[in-house]
Amino acid sequence: MQIPETLPTVELAHELPQRLRLRAPWLADRRLDRLSLEAALLSLGGVRGARANLHAGSIAIEYDGQSHHRRAILDWFRRPPPEFLTEPSPVASRPDPDLLRVFGALGGLILLPMLAEPLRRWLTYALIAPTVWEGAQTLSRKGLKIEVLDSLAVSLAAARGEYFTAIATQGLLALGGYLEQRTARHADDLLRHLLKPMPTQAWVERDGVLVQIPCDELRVGDRIEVGPGEMIPIDGKVVGGNAAVNQASVTGENLAVRKEPGDKVLSGTVLEGGRLRIRATRVGAETTTARIARFIENALQQQSRTQSLAEQLADKRVYLTLGTGALVYAATGDLDRLASVFLVDYACALKLGTPVAIKSAMYQGAKHGILFRGSSALDSLAQADTFVFDKTGTLTSGLLEVTDVLSLDADWEAAHLLALVASIEEHATHPVADAVVKQARRQHLGHIEHEDVDYLVAHGLTTHAEGRCVVIGSRHFLEAHQNISFAAHEERIAALEQSGKTLLYVALEQQPLGLIGLRDSLRPEAKTVLAQLRQSGIRRLVLLTGDRQDKAEALARELDMDEVHAECPPERKAAVVEQLRAQGAKVAFIGDGVNDAPALIAADVGLAMPRGADLARATADIVLLDEHLQTLLAARTLSAGTLRLIRNHFRVSTGVNTAVIAGAAFGLLSPVWSALLHNGMTLGVLLNSIAGVSLKSGHIEALKDKLETLKVAYRGGRVD
């Protein structure tokens, strides 16, 4: 069927001061992706909630009641995007919770004593018909599932003339189904509501004048201005002004961070004071907020190994219930006992509790700056027993500082050399480039004009300045790729390297021009976090670094690492990970650079630090949005705790259901009591799954206090 370029507008069906109900034929289209539509509406200013009802072809919208927000909602519906008409995902097509069957059963129980025998029978048949029909459809399409057992149970009671039992059981089944659907829907809503409303308009500089334009018209390189209380619509770099920016929507840390020229800012963060002018580096679908939205979409649709296993176990236990019922009837010939057994199954708690617990964990993670690409990522992190760390940007801060600027040409002063390198490196996004540019700005050095820059990933940059060829990068790049030898300066190079500094090599017209030394510091919390990871069940901690063997081993001893791979070139990282996996280890790799992408893919689960390169974040299974290493520990705590919660639910549901089946088999429980106890246990599992694993447990809070003490000490120069 051809999808129209524009959808027909909706009519206002009903209105309250802070609520609108809109109706349109396309809102009843089976292809409507309800979750995407509701998420899009939640992104509009003032909208607090949206609920589409596909059966009624309507949508209810709750908002703050302000007239301009009401107008914006109605304007949006005049031209809604046609991409909402697609084949919906299983999550989006999940039926809305419906209380009609519950009220129908309640009304039937009230009417039953007042009716004559034929009417009582037909009323009972009418009320249980939906359950019987669902059982028949399930049997023909999917085979023997729990719906078939429910259908048999109510049918047996009705066939024996036990109308009260049949209707009461039908009501309990309907109530249980309603509560289960509500709980599952709530788990989806938790994740969906993380999609933060984004501004629709932005002030952008055009020909030296600020004009307001729609955010979807912004382009990379645009300079926008953001004022107090406003949300930043793009990822970018501050080029003017200073302000306090609240980053809670991205990192989970509800503390304003000072931003000034040269600092990076993220979409979805809010200015609490001041004013910023920002050059856009990512817009639209490439912004941090858009990537978070894609993570959430994946989380809603993907199924983990644990979830698949839970469903398989649940389906197998349907046969256990059926077999038990058959044995009970063969031994007693009692249809009441048979119906009571059929009303108990192991499937509900396992099938529903597991995905709800996983989605609750993803919600908790996103609130604390941890993005799981899907439920499989949470699974894999929980089961990992070996953590492999790339040193730079993970165990170290990744915030390099320029310590030395050495000119190797008598005609070049150190300041002129730094100005040249900074002018070229400002086009790169690597931590080395950021450090050099910041140092040049601190010294108020001028910009040196140059031609277009060629960037070779993980090696260096080449360009022409003042008509001469300039090459900047690693020693390997300049010597092996550009045939520029630094052998004559070996003594100076060795002295800088022995003091633990990273070196940037500069050449002009195929001759060595200078060296820039940079130092990266170990994160003050690294040792404490690694110790906590080991306590959480990690058996092996591995360090990967390009440092010399003696320096790498000293760092490994300081951090109590089990294994170290020194002088490790980028191409060897993935090989080390593959080697560990071949030994039977379940590997989590933590990195942040372009060179880390192959290792992130090779590991059982890859985690990217927040300052990581785009490629690293694109290939990682988990992205940490908070720079602090405690976020890594929180991710491990959350994943392991969720897996433990699921296993506990399995044990509890199996034990309780087995006890109920035993009671039913021995005639101690009627069908009504069987349904009541079974559904009550299932609801308890679902509610506990929604509560999930708290990241505010005692040892996490204690760790926070310890790490804050370390940070203060570090700033005061009291930590080695």
Those residues whose C-beta lies under 8 Å from the C-beta of residue 270, and which sit 6 or more positions away, are: 229, 230, 231, 232, 245, 246, 249
CA distances from 669 to 103, 292, 680 (A): 25, 49, 15
Closest to 317 measured CA to CA, from 168, 197, 149:
149
Of the residues 222, 390, 604, 626, only one is catalytic, namely 390
702 phi and psi, to 5 degrees? -65, -40
Q: Is the C-alpha dihedral spanning 635, 637, 643, 649 positive or negative?
A: negative
Measure the N-to-C terminal CA separation of the chain; round to a whole number of Å: 68
Tokens found for residue 694: 């708290």
Strands (E), 377-442: 386-390, 401-407
Closest to 585 measured CA to CA, from 545, 620, 518, 539:
539
Helix (H/G/I), strand (E/B), else coil: 97: coil
Helix (H/G/I), strand (E/B), else coil: 699: helix
Tokens found for residue 327: 């044995």
Instruction: Report which DSSP code applies to 396.
Output: B
How many Å apart are CA 179 and CA 176, to the nearest integer? Answer: 5
CA distances from 299 to 148, 295, 355, 503 (A): 30, 6, 10, 42
Q: Which residue's entry shows tokens 């150190």? A: 414
Phi-psi label, residue 406: left if phi above 0, alpha if psi -120 to 50, beta otherwise:
beta
Closest to 637 measured CA to CA, from 577, 580, 684, 704:
704
Tokens found for residue 586: 């379940």
- How does DSSP assign 151-214, residue by residue? HHHHHHHHHTT-HHHHHHHHHHHHHHHHHHHHHHHHHHHHHHTTS----SEEEEEETTEEEEEE
How many Å apart are CA 217 and CA 197, to the nearest integer? Answer: 17
Give the CA angle between residues 627, 629, 631 to the nearest 5°.
80
Tokens found for residue 266: 């993220």
Does an H or E element contain 205, and which?
strand 201-206
* 230 close to 200: Cβ distance less than 8 angstroms: no
How many Å apart are CA 674 and CA 185, to the nearest integer? Answer: 26
> What is the identity of the amino acid at 368?
H
The DSSP bridge pattern shows strands 47-53 and 622-624 to be: unpaired
Q: Is 390 a catalytic residue?
A: yes
> What is the identity of the amino acid at 386?
T
Tokens found for residue 673: 């009591």
Sheet architecture: strand order including 460-465: 401-407, 511-519, 502-508, 468-473, 460-465, 454-456
How many Å apart are CA 460 and CA 237, to the nearest integer? Answer: 22
Query: What does the buried/exposed string (b/e) look like for 3-36 if buried means 16 or more CB atoms within 10 Å of the residue's CB?
Result: eeeebeebeeeeeeeeebbbbbebbebeebbbbb
Q: Which residues are catalytic?
A: 390
